[in-house]
Amino acid sequence: FPTRSRQGSSPPASSSLARWPMSIRLRELIRNVRACKTQADERACIQKECAAIRTAFKEENNELRHRNVAKLLFIHMLGYPTHWGQMECLKLVAGLKFPEKRIGYLGLMILLDERQEVLMLVENSLKVDLHNENQYIAGLAMCSLANIASAEICRDLSPEIETLMGNSNPYIRKKACICALRILQKNPELAENYTDKVASVLNDRNHGVLLTGTKLMFEMTRLDANTVPELRAQVPTLVRVLKNLVLSGYAPEHDINGITDPFLQVSVLKLLRVLGAGSAECSDQMNDILAQVATNTESSKNVGNAILYECVQTIVSIEAESGLRVLAINILGRFLMNRDNNIRYVALNTLVKVVATDINAVQRHRNTIVDCLKDPDVSLRRRALELIYVLVNESNVQALVEEMVGYLHVVEAEYKEDLVTKICTVTDKYAADKRWRVDTIIKTLTMSGAYVSDDLASSLISLISKSPEIQAYTTCKLHEALSAELHTVAQTLVQVGVWCLGEYADLLQSGAGDEHLTPQQVLDILDKVLHDVTTTVTTKEHVLNALVKCAARYSGQADAQARIGSLLQPFTTSIGLELQQRSIEYSRLFSREDIKAGVLERMPALEKKQKPADAMRAAGGRAAQSNGGAAAAPQQPA
Amino acid sequence: LPQTRRGKPRLSKYYRAYTDDEKHKVEGEIHRLVTGRDSKFTNFVEFRQHKLIYRRYAGLFFTLCVDTSDNELSLFESIHLFVEVLDQFFGNVCELDLVFNFYKVYMILDEFFLAGEVQETSKQTILRRVQELDRLE
């Protein structure tokens, strides 16, 4: 009867029964959900359960709350909204028993994150629980703190954590270190409070504490580089720790595949890296142990390789003596030959860092690296490309660029532009043979369609204008390229081609290049480009420029002149202002025999800084000025 | 920052704040990326500004998402250590164990990783701890 009064008007017979089905066990819920055949079934099942849970929450049932919240968490994992249950988690956290607290904290970690204001309400519970005698409850609190605490909570609870780092229980100390890590991430200014604590942690015997301690130190250096000089004092201790690990016999507690606590070794090596970089004295202290780790670690299993990898990274980052560096690079070379893709990947990654200082050593492995470029694995290919780009020099540029151009066929779209730029940059820097340079760049531009940046056009033009010997050759090649279907050719290439035709077409008339181009052929191409649907307005402007230059070059040929005139004519009424202006000015320029030759003289060698568009506008500008004169002239007595 | 996730997410843990929508999107992307890879490829993939390290055990993928500066081989080992702990705790663990006891798995995870870092490397210690916690239930 008391139950009936709470439930309102439900019949007494079913009231006591009605309560139990509402509160099924977690396992049953999971089983029910898994038994649902369709999405709709599952939704109905979940909704029913949510309703039951909601009612149960309203009833403030203490015993079953944690079971209901556990079910809620499961429902959340499936993807349904569950924010209405957050307050229940808070109530659980404030409970007294361990199972309640456990689900409560777990709920907090899953349902909330540091940005939620509701979290502030938990702060007090956290504070109390941190000092709980039961190490597991304290552990729970620290866990939540470390995983989701906001900056304010971190700051408030920092004093508690500082004390806990000195606690007698290693379990507590270990977790306190990680909490300190998070606190510092959120509030870097608190670092001073922890510097001496962290030093004492390194003298601990417990591996877990050592591990978290080294991570804490690493994080401190990452957040504030000024802590490094102070922490360098710890290097001897760290070296000792590492030595103990390497020299110790079989230690079943921390053994993995025959190596004692590889995770701790890796962590110490990482820390040594940061402390040794930039300090010759510190690096000296580490030399011996690094050499020992590098030579004695078994590399048949992945664990050994993990340690070697970290060791090599450390050696190349500190001021190591050359013998040690050679050792490191040899290890990397061995990695490259390994059949395991993971190891090769890691080697390629590290070689990129080494190349800056020891490029000759890396060159020895060039062929292996090039092979990696052809590997079916995308990750390997990308790493290999980075490395090849850095390895290019005068002697190997032709071979390597060919590989890079080959790769252009298969690379994904998002990396194409980068690759094209890389190819052109190295070709520019290292190629001695200009013809080959031009060939390669044209080939690259032809293949890469839309992925070309405008800078490439200007560097190509600057190259051509500076080298008279290849001007004819280049113009030939470009003419070829433009004869193809225009929509497959990059606009940049079209622009460069058109510009070259304008400047140098007359060279071809006399057969200077490999081909003999008549004015009509040149004008054919210009005509085609002008009227093609894929040509942009900018390109059309370039074509107009080229046409008027041709007028000067082919000054003796009447049919060419007539054709040029007829090509220019339609644009005098064009909607595009620039096109209209140019065509009108150029038509005027036609009739001015006296200044035409001067204005349309061949361009001098261009410096790379000046963009071709600007240079052309400058030439057009000069023409415009004199046209202004020409336009004014008819008004004067002729 | 590590984030463990299994293919058709059975369990996921985030050490940085994301909204639920972002989480779902990320999980979907990662799943597609990881399951699309051949088994002979490396176990490391670049993903946005981070790295993914994954390992496949029967029908489940265990994936960690970390900063690019972390040691991949070492984390690769840590995945294996974690799976060994699960195996010993549940006795020949299978996927259903993970589904039905998800809160216990979270507990084990919290003993192994904290705030995105490995906190304990001794399998025995973790197991002992977890078994005691289980007894308190």
- Each residue of A141-153: pLDDT tens digit? 777 777 777 777 7
How close is the nearest chain A Cα to the Cα of B92, in Å?
20
CA B2/CA B26 separation, integer angstroms: 13
Nearest CA in chain B to A375: B41
pLDDT tens-place string over residues A6-40: 333 333 333 333 344 446 777 778 787 778 788 88
What lies within 8 Å, CB to CB, of A579 at 6+ separation is A537, A540, A541, A544, A571
Q: Do A344 and B42 touch (CB under 8 A)?
A: yes
Q: In the predicted model, what is the mean pLDDT of chain A?
A: 73
Chain-chain contact of A212 with B41 (C-beta, under 8 angstroms): no
Which residues on B lie below 8 Å from A303 (Cβ)? 77
In A, which residues are within 8 Å of B21 by CB distance?
Answer: none
CA distance A329 to A334: 9
The pLDDT, as a whole number, for residue A489 is 66
State residue B15's pLDDT score. Answer: 67
Q: What is the mean pLDDT of residues A530-553?
A: 75
Which residues contact residue A603 at a Cβ distance below 8 angstroms, ignoring those fewer than 6 apart?
Answer: A465, A503, A615, A619
CB contact under 8 A, B40 and A341: yes
Q: Count Cβ atoms below 10 Å from residue A621 Cβ, excluding itself.
A: 11
Does the beta-carbon distance from B100 to A77 stay under 8 Å?
no
A568 touches chain B (CB under 8 A): no
Predicted pLDDT at A11: 37
Q: Which residues contact A539 (CB under 8 A, 6 or more apart)?
A: A491, A494, A495, A498, A529
Mapping DSSP onto H, E and C, the string for A222-285 reads: HHCCCHHHHHHHHHHHHHHHHHHHHHCCCCHHHEECCEECHHHHHHHHHHHHHHHCCCHHHHHH
Kindly report the nearest CA distance between residue B110 and chain A, in angstroms. Answer: 7
Residue A350's pLDDT band (cuts 50, 70, 90): confident
Chosen from A205, A266, A311 to mutate, greatest number of chain B CBs within 10 A = A266
**Rounded to the nearest 5°, which phi and psi values hold at A550?**
-60, -35
The residue among A90, A151, A91, A142 whose CA lies nearest residue A115 is: A151
Q: How close B114 gets to chain A, by Cα (Å)?
A: 7
Does residue B22 sit at the A interface (CB-CB below 8 Å)? Answer: no
DSSP, res B5:
B
Residue A455 has pLDDT above 80, yes or no: no
Q: What is the ipTM of this complex?
A: 0.79
A234-237 own/partner pairs: CB under 8 Å, 24+ apart: A234/A199, A234/A202, A234/A275, A235/A272, A235/A275, A235/A276, A235/A282, A235/A285, A235/A286, A236/A285, A237/A202, A237/A203
Cβ separation A77–B9 shorter than 8 A: yes
User: Is B68 within 8 Å of chain A by CB?
Assistant: no
Of the partner residues A30, A103, A113, the one whose CB lies closest to the CB of residue B17: A113
Q: Which residue type, as a one-letter code, is found at position B134? A: D
Q: Please check whether residue A220 touches B, CB under 8 A.
A: no
pLDDT tens digits, one per residue of A585-630: 877 777 776 666 666 666 665 555 434 444 444 444 444 443 433 3
User: In a mutagenesis test of the A interface, which of B16, B40, B42 is the best target, namely the one with the most A β-carbons within 10 Å?
Assistant: B42
Q: Which of A68, A119, A128, A69 is nearest to A94 (CA)?
A: A128
What is the percentage of chain A residues whose pLDDT exceeds 70? 81
Residues of chain B neighbouring A274 (CB-CB closer than 8 A):
none
Write down the pLDDT at residue A622.
Answer: 42
Q: pLDDT digit string (tens) for B86-121?
A: 888 888 777 777 777 877 888 788 777 776 677 777
Position A19 scores a pLDDT of: 41
Interchain pair A377, B11: CB under 8 A: no
pTM of the model: 0.67
Question: Does A344 touch chain B if contact means CB atoms closer than 8 Å?
Answer: yes
State residue A512's pLDDT score.
Answer: 53
Name, in order, each residue with C-beta under 8 angstroms of A223's C-beta and a sequence gap of 6 or more. A184, A185, A188, A191
B63, containing H or E segment: strand B60-66
Above 70 in pLDDT, residue A231? yes
Q: Do A263 and B44 touch (CB under 8 A)?
A: no
B100 and chain A: CB distance < 8 Å anywhere?
Answer: yes
Q: Does A101 touch chain B (CB under 8 A)?
A: no
The residue length of chain B stands at 137
**DSSP-assigned letter for residue B44:** E
Cβ atoms of residues A147 and B115 within 8 Å: yes
Torsion of CA B13, B14, B19, B25, to 10 degrees: -70
- The CA R_g of chain B, rounded to the nearest whole Å, is 15
> How far is B90 from chain A, CA to nearest CA, in Å?
16
pLDDT greater than 60 at residue A632? no
**Token couple for A349:** 């990654």
Q: Is B1 on the interface with A (CB under 8 A)?
A: no
**Residue A99 touches chain B, beta carbons under 8 Å:** yes
From the list A146, A261, A309, the residue facing B115 with the nearest CB is A146
Cβ-based contacts of B106 with chain A (< 8 Å): 106, 109-110
Q: Do A306 and B114 touch (CB under 8 A)?
A: no
- Say which of B120, B136, B137 has its CB closest to residue A208: B120
pLDDT of residue A436: 75
Q: Quick check: helix, strand or coil at residue B43?
A: coil
- Look up residue A393 and give its amino acid: N
DSSP A149-163: --HHHHHHHHHHHHH
Q: How far apart are CA A505 and CA A518, in angstroms?
A: 9
Minimal Cβ distance to A147: which of B15, B24, B72: B15
The verdict on A253 touching B (C-beta cutoff 8 Å) is yes
Asked if the C-beta of A207 comes within 8 angstroms of chain B's C-beta atoms, the answer is yes
Task: Check if B14 contacts A (Cβ < 8 Å).
Answer: yes
Q: Provide, as residue numbers in chain A, all residues whose Cβ is less than 8 Å from the Cβ of B102.
A: 73-74, 77
Q: What is d(CA A466, CA A400) in angstroms, rounded to the nearest whole number?
A: 25
Contact: B72, A346; criterion CB under 8 Å: yes
Q: Does B125 contact chain A (CB < 8 Å)?
A: yes
Task: Tell me how many residue pairs between chain A and chain B have CB atoms under 8 A apart.
Answer: 144
Best mutation target among B114, B126, B134 (most A Cβ atoms within 10 Å) is B114
State which residues of chain B have pLDDT below 70.
Answer: 1-21, 38-40, 115-116, 137
Say yes or no: B122 contacts chain A, CB-CB below 8 A. yes
Coil/strand/helix, residue B65: strand
Q: B81-108 in b/e burial notation, b at 16+ Cβ within 10 A? A: bbeebbebbbeebeeebbbbbbbbbbbb
Task: Reply yes or no on whether the pLDDT at A5 is more than 70.
Answer: no
Partner residue facing A302 (CB), from B40, B42, B76: B76
Round to whole Å and give the CA distance between A146 and A169: 18
Kindly list the residues from chain B whose CB atom is less than 8 angstroms away from the CB atom of residue A151. none
Residue pLDDT, tens place only, A320-335: 777 888 888 888 888 8
Q: How far is A323 from chain B (nearest CA, A)?
A: 24
User: B43 at the A interface (CB within 8 A)?
Assistant: yes
